[in-house]
Chains A and B, each alone.
Chain A
Amino acid sequence: MTIAVGCVLLVGIVLYGVFGGADFGAGLWDLTAGGAHRGKRARDLIDHAIGPVWEANHTWLIFCLVILWSGFPTAFAAIVTTLYIPLGISVLGIVLRGSGFAFRKVLTGSLGRQINSVAFAMPSVITPFGFGTVAGGIASGRVPSDGYGDPVTSWLNPTSLLGGVLAVMTCSYLAALFLTEEGRHAGAPDLVAWAHRRAILAAGAAGIVALAGLFVLHEDARRLFDRLTAPALPLVLVSAVAGLAALAATMSLADRWRWRPVRGLGALAVAAILAGWGVGQYPYLLGDHLTISDAAAPPQTMDSLIVVAGLAAVFVVPPLAWLLLLTQRGELSDPDATSPRR
């Protein structure tokens, strides 16, 4: 049962990485879209793309938190008492970006829109970076089992910085990929080109960082390196291949294809690397000192969490899929919002 709960947690992290990640990445492109006038259509596209789904996507984070603190309470306490600085910054970032996004949609004055755009976009970069450093701290064994590890070096270290940068790159890549498709859907070729250029850029950057990261892990988190290059290697390769294939599928040559596997491939690329991290950690929850089974709550708690996960699969996944489908088909849109279409 303990391993099952561990898998539920990993699934939650993967889904948050894919769905939440795409939302965060959209914030980065929002930030760099240019001035209020020049960037307006790109921002409309972003509003259009993530408006209906960002709250649901954000909920995966809550899902991960509740599974972690109920299923592995001591590990949760160890993580938060050690990594409280990046976690504190990230959660304040979440408040700022969610509020900023909601406010700017209803504001009409240009100053208010600009302030709230920045409030949405800046933390969209900071928060995934923070979460990436947290992942790096956990993966490189810097969170002691009893908590209260070094509050600074636990997240300011090579693996954490790699995690942070890679998280931002991955989010940007995913968002650019999804926005390319959104632009196509909105019938805006200029926005397709705008997003596609960024997808290539982000993919290239993510690739370079990932390769350089291998050396970092070799020096700084040897066990993770060994695991990623042995049992988790297939997942790493799947990620690389899917990432490149997704990029290829966005190419304008394939314009007459009605169905493009872009979203699926992009999601697979991110999911595979996150799953690879999970396999890399196994059987440990923290570094190589606290195993999943040692950190586990009593069996009745684990059973309850499996029941909760089952209920989520039955009651949450179908409506969530429906919401994503409706959004993708463009059947949900704010009548007051301006369309990115020219």
Chain B
Amino acid sequence: MQTNKITSIIYYSLFFLLGSFFSYSFFILMLNNNLKIAEKISIGFDPSNLLSIIITLLLALYITRKLDKKTTENRVEKDILIDDIKQFKYKFYKEIHDILNSKKILYIEVVAKLKTIRMRFQSINKILKKYGYDMDNNRIAKLDENIRDIKDLLTETPKTKDKKQIIVNNGELSFGTKRREDIEIALDDISSKIFELIVQINKF
């Protein structure tokens, strides 16, 4: 709301300055060309002048309102999108921490949670692309890669039994300390990328 008031003030000031500029220019032009105002000024009512003033005023009001409306619509669109991303981030972090806080959890349960997370991000991704928010640095694609990395860290067991950082036994999954740390680091990385994405949307 504050931004809208500022925008309106800017527009009104701009129109005022433009008006002043043209009046001043006209005055200077008159002086330089030795133009003189008739000694006897006739005071009369000219309907065409009045109509011109009214149309100019109405146009100024219309343009200002139209631009204000557009600005408001863009802000609402951004707010909804940002809110969506924040909700995604909250659910994503909650799910991953729930997984990490369980001593043992079913492998298929983890996989199902990750499917929901990635599908949710996929739909956000589509909206961001549809409205053209992914202009700089391909941030969304990078974020998508990071989310896939988390999936790998949570569900990729080694081909050999050498490494014990992720173990699946009877369909139950458990993680070693190193793997947990790697997941936390990956989560931090995602958090900063989401922050950058929100900043980018706000600047757009």
Q: Do A and B bind each other?
A: no
